[in-house]
Amino acid sequence: MTAMIHVRPASERRRDFARWATGHTVKLRTVGPDVFAVPPHLFVDVPEELLIGAIVDGHRYRSPLEDEATGTPPPGPVDQPDVLVGELVGVPGVPLPPVPDAAYPPDAVLLPVAPAAEPGQDGSTPDSSGGNTFACDRCPRTFTTARGRDTHRRQAHTED
């Protein structure tokens, strides 16, 4: 399904907009009592004076012709800084910077600093399974489960 642009022309321009809409080989349809569904490739061909005061996809259409009639100056360039600088929050492997005291509410109770874990206490060593290791009888590798050893033997030592 193609996306349509919904245009609700101003009441004084509705008849002229309908005349323009029905003047095409494929006539434009209405989707409400005063709303037209316009294909995007035809929207660029709508005469500017028909869109003055219209609501297009829920937003008021701002026409350059309308701005000239009311004396509104065109929008200027957007003010942006020349250089954008990001804030360095943390680097992997480096401790995070301390949190400022202003970040905590007045009644906050700070937690004590946890001692650093010693190697082998975090459960990441292969001996965490209770010391049971299963060695491959064809190479020097060891495994924590018999299933792992058997899978290794089937995949790595297929020549036997």
Per-residue pLDDT of the chain (160 residues; tens, 9 = 90+): 468 899 999 999 999 999 998 887 777 888 888 899 998 888 888 888 899 889 999 898 888 777 777 777 766 676 666 666 666 667 788 887 777 888 888 898 878 877 776 655 555 555 455 568 899 999 999 999 999 999 999 999 987 6
Q: Of 22, 20, 17, 19, which Cα lies nearest the Cα of 7?
A: 17
Whole-angstrom distance, CA of residue 22 vs CA of residue 117 = 77
Q: What is the pLDDT of residue 81?
A: 66
Q: What is the pLDDT of residue 135?
A: 92
Q: How many domains does the chain have?
A: 2
Please say whether the beta carbons of 29 and 21 come within 8 A.
no
For tokens 């929008």, the residue is 75
Please say whether the beta carbons of 31 and 37 come within 8 A.
yes
Residue 87 belongs to a domain:
no
Domain boundary among 55, 70, 85: 70
Bridge-based pairing state of the strands 55-56 and 29-30 = unpaired
Residue 45 belongs to a domain:
yes
Residue 29 belongs to a domain:
yes
Model confidence, pTM: 0.43
Residue 49 belongs to a domain:
yes
Whole-angstrom distance, CA of residue 160 vs CA of residue 158 = 6
DSSP 44-86: TTS-HHHHTT-EETTEE---HHHHHHHTPPPP-PPP--SS---
Domain boundary among 53, 70, 87: 70
Residue 84 belongs to a domain:
no
Residue 120 belongs to a domain:
no
Q: What is the pLDDT of residue 104?
A: 85
Residue 24 belongs to a domain:
yes
Tokens of 65: 């012709």
DSSP state letter for 111: P
Owning domain of residue 63: 5-70
Q: Please say whether the dihedral angle defined by the alpha carbons of residues 42, 47, 48 and 51, taken in this order, is positive or negative.
A: negative
